[in-house]
Chain A
Amino acid sequence: KAGVTQTPRYLIKTRGQQVTLSCSPISGHRSVSWYQQTPGQGLQFLFEYFSETQRNKGNFPGRFSGRQFSNSRSEMNVSTLELGDSALYLCASSLTPLAGYNEQFFGPGTRLTVL
């Protein structure tokens, strides 16, 4: 079974621009979560989607948004980029959609650099 895939792997943007990152979960997995990883803050939860619905959201500004499609693929969007948005963005998928039972499998990440 193919793992979680994320595209693109690397992105360089300038402040004020917007960016869209894509994630394809493991086949059959319908829950997709997104995380931001930075040296200072570590791994932080952004949001989770299941059946095209956002069920949970972390403590990030409204510039961070996402969506999920009917085939469970997910995208996240960051608008009006700031230097502090430079990070590794990780997507994870889970077979079990139950709260508190998230065995998650991660993709390789998208490295975003904001200049």
Chain B
Amino acid sequence: SQQGEEDPQALSIQEGENATMNCSYKTSINNLQWYRQNSGRGLVHLILIRSNEREKHSGRLRVTLDTSKKSSSLLITASRAADTASYFCATDARAGGTSYGKLTFGQGTILTVHP
């Protein structure tokens, strides 16, 4: 079963606009990661935020984490056509041995940025 649920499922914007994607999860986590995937290719690691962090920045990316609401958001500022991709959140559960090497992914948000 998928722990992370992204919202919206699809997002269509114009170049230069900001894109915000949300992720909710169910269990206690150690960290949450965001990935990008272009057209069924491999996942590109974007950013990791630890459970004791509330906000993190990387270039045009801003991630927030609210552990009390079990939710995270990814903001891409000044979007470009090259940002067109699927975006996934992945959680690393605080579950002892059963979490070895296991990330739980949401269904993803499909972002389309029109030139």
Binding site for B on A (CB under 8 A): 4, 6, 31-33, 35, 42-43, 45, 47-50, 55-56, 58, 88, 90, 92, 94, 97, 99-109, 111
Q: Beyond A97-B100, A99-B96, A104-B103: 4 further Cβ-contacts under 8 Å? A: A33-B103, A43-B105, A106-B45, A111-B40
Name the A residues within 8 Å of B43 (CB-CB).
90, 92, 106
Contact between chains at B97 and A42 (CB < 8 Å): no
Q: From B51, which residue of chain A is reached at the shortest CB distance? A: A100
Contact between chains at A56 and B100 (CB < 8 Å): yes
Is B13 interfacial (CB 8 A cutoff)?
no
Contact between chains at B92 and A55 (CB < 8 Å): no
Contact between chains at A56 and B33 (CB < 8 Å): no
Is B56 interfacial (CB 8 A cutoff)?
no
Pick the residue among A50, A90, A94, A99 that contacts B42 (CB under 8 A). Answer: A90
Q: From A37, which residue of chain B is reached at the shortest CB distance? A: B40
Name the B residues within 8 Å of A33 (CB-CB).
101-103
CB distance from B28 to the nearest CB of A (A): 9
- Given A42-B105, A43-B105, A45-B103: A56 and B98 interface contact (C-beta under 8 Å): yes
Contact between chains at B99 and A100 (CB < 8 Å): yes
Pick the residue among B35, B42, B101 that contacts A109 (CB under 8 A). Answer: B42
Contact between chains at A102 and B45 (CB < 8 Å): no
CB distance from B72 to the nearest CB of A (A): 15
Name the B residues within 8 Å of A94 (CB-CB).
101
Pick the residue among B30, B101, B108 that contacts A56 (CB under 8 A). Answer: B101
Q: From B105, which residue of chain A is reached at the shortest CB distance? A: A43
In the bound assembly, the distance between CA atoms of A48 and B104 in angstroms comes to 13
Name the A residues within 8 Å of B106 (CB-CB).
42
Contact between chains at A42 and B30 (CB < 8 Å): no
In the bound assembly, the distance between CA atoms of A104 and B96 in angstroms comes to 17
Contact between chains at B88 and A101 (CB < 8 Å): no
Q: From A106, which residue of chain B is reached at the shortest CB distance? A: B43
CB distance from B53 to the nearest CB of A (A): 14
Interchain Cβ contacts under 8 Å between A and B, 23 examples: A6-B42, A35-B105, A45-B102, A48-B101, A50-B100, A55-B97, A56-B97, A56-B101, A94-B101, A99-B96, A100-B93, A100-B94, A100-B95, A102-B92, A103-B31, A103-B48, A104-B90, A104-B101, A106-B45, A107-B42, A108-B42, A109-B41, A109-B42
